[in-house]
Structure formats: C-alpha cells, structure tokens
Amino acid sequence: MSITTPFRHPPYCPNPGCDSHENTVVWRFVKKGFYLRDRRPYRVQRYRCCSCGRYFSSQTFSPSYWLRRGDLLESTFHRLVSCSCFRQIARETGVSHSTIRRLSDRLGRHCLLFHERMRPKACPEEPLVLDGLRSFEHSQYWPMDLNLLVGESYFVYGFNDAELRRSGTMRPAQKEKRRVLEKRFGKPDPRATEKQVEELLDRIVPEGGQVALRSDEHRAYPRAMSRLLDRSFVHEQTSSKESRTPASPLFPANHTDLLVRHSSANHKRETVAFSKRRLSALLRLAIWVVWRNYLKDRSENRGAGPPAQALGITGRPLRVKEILAQRLFPEREGITGWLRECYFGRIPTRAIERCVAHEASYAV
C-alpha cells in the first residue's frame, strides 16, 4: 500500500514488542468501542490486538497520534520551510511556542523516517556533491557543520552533523571565554567531520558501490573515504573560493546551502532564531529535506518537478497531506546508528548539561 494514503483499517499491531508488529500474516484484532473528540476525526474507533492484548485506535496510525493540536501539523510544516521561527508560528496559531517546538520535533522525526523509506537504497548513479553547511548551536562558541550529500538532480540523499571548535578571528576576551567554556564542557572531537562524513557515505553508498563524488578541498573528506575500503570513490575536488555559478561542479551543494538558509529561520546569518540544540536543527533539516526532495520544484519558472520526480521515485510532486498520511514506526523502519540516535534525541548539546532525549513509551 502506498505510503501517501491513510490506512482504512489497522495495518499491524502498533506494539513493537508484539509478533504482529512486523509480521501481519495471521494478525487478528477486535473492535473495542470508540470515543468522541471535539476535533477531527470526531469519532475514534478503538481496537484490541488479539496477539498481545494492547489497546489502540484508528488515531494510533496517524502522525498526529497523542497530539492535542495535531490539526496544526500541516500548517506548521509549511511555516517551518517558510523561514518562520517557533514564536512567530505560535503567535499566528494562538498556542505556546513549546507546542510548536514539539510539533516541529514530531514532524522532524516523521520526515527522518519518511525520507529513509523513500530514498533509493541502490548505489546512486548520478554524481554526488558533499558539503558542510556551517551553522551553530546554543551560541556562536559552538559551531557545527551540517554535512549534506546532494545529487546533480538536487536530490538530498542524506545529512548528519559534526561539532566544531570555534575558530577564526577572535578578540582576546572571546578567546578567554572559549577557554573557560571548553574547560567546563570539553572540546569537540577534532576528527568529528572525518567520522561523520564516513557515517554519511557508509549509509548512502551501499557496499561494493562506486560513485563520482565532488567536494571542496576539506582535508577530512579524503580521509573519510579512505576508511571505507569496500566502496570506491572517484573524488573530484574544487576550491570553495571559485565563483559559485551554475557552471561550478559544486553548484548542487551551493544551491542547497542557499535554499536551506533562505527557507529556515534558524540558519539565517545574525538571527535570534538560531537552534539552541543541534538536535533541533537536525530535525528541522529533516523536514526541509523532505520538502526539497518531494515537494519543491527544481525550477520555479519551468515547472520541472521536484528532485524525487527526476529520479523516478515519485510520479509527481507530493503534498504535505500525503507526507503526513501514515504514521511511521522506528522499529518497523529498522533505523540504526546515527539515524537512530537522532530519532531518539540522543545527540547532546555540550553547553546544556541535561539534554532531554525522546523517551516516550507510546508516542514514539
């Protein structure tokens, strides 16, 4: 069944510990009454799984599961890729900014799984461009790179994060503040970029795959590639100082950077809407990636269709309603490694001592 249409009947048991969560060949469930709500859907059918006895409802299979304002998911999606910050969205919709933050996190987790389900699992045939989008979390003392792997079709295959040490010109007082902060919270791993680029390439390029990879002259990239012995990369480097025109081999990545900054309030220069946690930036980026790959046209004037259409993944641009048609469960999608850590919120921000992870029992 297509991922873009809502389920008419419960498709599997929502309990990840139940045999019928993944294997539905002999699954049985029974109707167990209903309850009424003051928002759509007004009548929610309840069910019970005959294998494990878990109660659930028709709402269990919607991304708005257990949300009081699930009706705001679709409009929040649009706002988050239209450069609004949480408080601006909250003022428009009359809810608190923490509600919008929770909706953003829910959308981000959903989009992480949605993209993982949809992206090609075979070795990409088009040349890929690797680049790091520089931003920061918490304060300018904690910079980070968002590593992006983009195809010539502008399809964003994947992304992850790398913590960086603040560098560049600093006043003596700023150097002293960096020293105090690093003494208290520790320094980021100097090889973070190398390790994270290795993780990203390992995830996107399957074993035995061969890809043409373009990048700037970042020294960590060749080191990351050399650690992946079972893949082969034809690496072409271009200086990042060269003009960023459409003729540049790095244009797909440069254009992606431009569009991320254009549409995400948290990555604008000199903004007060910067991400306070790297995790939040990553989940927002997941929403942006889904919008870019499956909704946003490659050309505003020519109507060429989104990148996923160019790759034959979808036949037409998707709508947000279709993206949010079905709830996706992490255990069924089988995410591992960095994706799993990101999904469950286990990417800590150094300067925040108690980072809350995503540890809900049911609303995963």
Which residues bind to Zn ion, rule: CB under 5 A?
A: 13, 15, 18, 20, 49, 51-52, 54
Pick the closer one to Zn ion by CB: 54 or 138.
54
Tokens of 31: 């109707």
Pick the closer one to Zn ion by CB: 13 or 224.
13
Closest approach of Cβ 50 to Zn ion, in Å? 8
The bridge status of strand 210-215 relative to strand 232-237 is parallel
Closest approach of Cβ 20 to Zn ion, in Å? 5
SS (H, E, C) the chain: CCCCCCCCCCCCCCCCCCHHHCCCCCCCEEEEEEEECCCCCCEEEEEEECCCCCEEEHHHHCCCCCCCCHHHHHHHHHHHCCCCCHHHHHHHHCCCHHHHHHHHHHHHHHHHHHHHHHCCCCCCCCCEEEEEEEEECCCCCCEEEEEEEEECCCCEEEEEEEECCCCCCCCHHHHHHHHHHHHHHCCCCCCHHHHHHHHHHHHHCCCCCEEEEEECCCCHHHHHHHCCCCCEEEEEECCCCCCCCCCCCCHHHHHHHHHHHHHCHHHCCCCCCCCCCHHHHHHHHHHHHHHHHHHCCCCCCCCCCCHHHHCCCCCCCCCHHHHCCCCCCHHHHCCCHHHHHHHCCCCCCCCCCCCCCCCCCCCC
Pick the closer one to Zn ion by CB: 11 or 337.
11
Pick the closer one to Zn ion by CB: 15 or 309.
15
Pick the closer one to Zn ion by CB: 203 or 327.
327
Closest approach of Cβ 11 to Zn ion, in Å? 12
Closest approach of Cβ 109 to Zn ion, in Å? 22
Pick the closer one to Zn ion by CB: 22 or 125.
22
Q: Determine the angle formed by the axes of helices 86-93 and 73-80, rounding to 10 degrees.
A: 140
Pick the closer one to Zn ion by CB: 56 or 159.
56
Pick the closer one to Zn ion by CB: 47 or 274.
47
The bridge status of strand 43-49 relative to strand 29-36 is antiparallel
Q: Determine the angle formed by the axes of helices 278-290 and 73-80, rounding to 10 degrees.
A: 100
Closest approach of Cβ 329 to Zn ion, in Å? 12
Burial class (CB in 10 A: 0-12, 13-18, 19+), 360: exposed
Closest approach of Cβ 362 to Zn ion, in Å? 13
Closest approach of Cβ 10 to Zn ion, in Å? 10
Pick the closer one to Zn ion by CB: 1 or 26.
26
Pick the closer one to Zn ion by CB: 321 or 362.
362
Closest approach of Cβ 164 to Zn ion, in Å? 45
Closest approach of Cβ 52 to Zn ion, in Å? 3
Closest approach of Cβ 361 to Zn ion, in Å? 15
